[in-house]
Amino acid sequence: MEAEEAVKLVKPGDVVMIGGFGNIGNPKELIDLIAETDVRELTVIANDLGTPNVGLGRWVRNGKLKKAIGTYFTYNTEAAELYFAGKLNLEMLPQGTFAESIRAGGCGIGGFYTKVGVGTQLTENCETKNIDGQTYVLAYPLRADVAILHAKKADRMGNLVYERTARNFNPLMATASSLTIVEVEEIVEVGQLSPEEIVTPYIYVDVLVPQKRGEVL
């Protein structure tokens, strides 16, 4: 599917997962196209919110978001300003908890206990449990209506290959959404990918979007 058609699958009020870490391994073209649509009231689940007016920072500036769940928002000062003005809900999770919550969402796990963050502001409202004399907090799974990801290569069935650290959150998010859209640098015929290099099997992929420009890391 062409990118312009794929972005129409994102609806107002959707929960949207975005793969990548900063500018590494994120679906840049799809992010930019959605920034120009009239879709709003989105909840985004992503490691970060980019920088002012760059990447997901364009969603922040264009008023797309009602909430963001991620691991750090420091680089986007505009997101911080909206948060302190009461105009954007930000939920921060420790990065390992964030990743495991997405994995739990993809696996159908109802939640898990972790020691990370115990006794801090991040977990002050979380349910706790004593296990073998130590305190753990309950973390809930994360799922999305749509995951928008980036891959280095795919075959026409949707099997995905990632490049180095661009692998980050993309494979986890592919499993934890009702609809998975993948921006791909190169699409090859079925049988041209080695089974050993495939990270995300096609069963998790719904839409492939050929990338029109080279990935800039």
pLDDT at site 214: 52
Give the position of tokens 């290099």: 197
Type of residue numbered 195: P
User: How many other CB atoms are there within 10 angstroms of residue 195's CB atom?
Assistant: 7
Mean pLDDT of the chain: 95
Report how far apart, in Å, the C-alpha atoms of 5 and of each of 2, 27, 30, 207 are: 6, 15, 10, 10
SS3 187: strand
pLDDT at site 212: 87
pLDDT at site 76: 94
pLDDT digit string, tens, across residues 28-58: 999 999 999 999 999 999 999 999 999 999 9
The DSSP string of 88-125 is: SEEEE--HHHHHHHHHHHHHT---EEE-TTTTSGGGTT
pLDDT at site 216: 43
Q: Which DSSP letter does residue 203 get?
A: G
- The phi, psi pair for 182, rounded to 5°, reads -125, 120
User: Mean of the pLDDT values across residues 76-87?
Assistant: 95
Residue 2 has pLDDT above 90, yes or no: yes
pLDDT band at 122 (very low <50, low <70, confident <90, very high): confident
Domains of the chain by start residue, with CATH:
3-92+142-210 (3.40.1080.10)
Cα distance between residue 183 and residue 84, in whole Å: 34
User: Mean of the pLDDT values across residues 5-13?
Assistant: 98
Report how far apart, in Å, the C-alpha atoms of 87 and of each of 68, 98, 146 are: 12, 23, 23
Cα distance between residue 139 and residue 49, in whole Å: 22
User: How many other CB atoms are there within 10 angstroms of residue 98's CB atom?
Assistant: 23
Give the position of tokens 């750090």: 72
pLDDT at site 22: 85
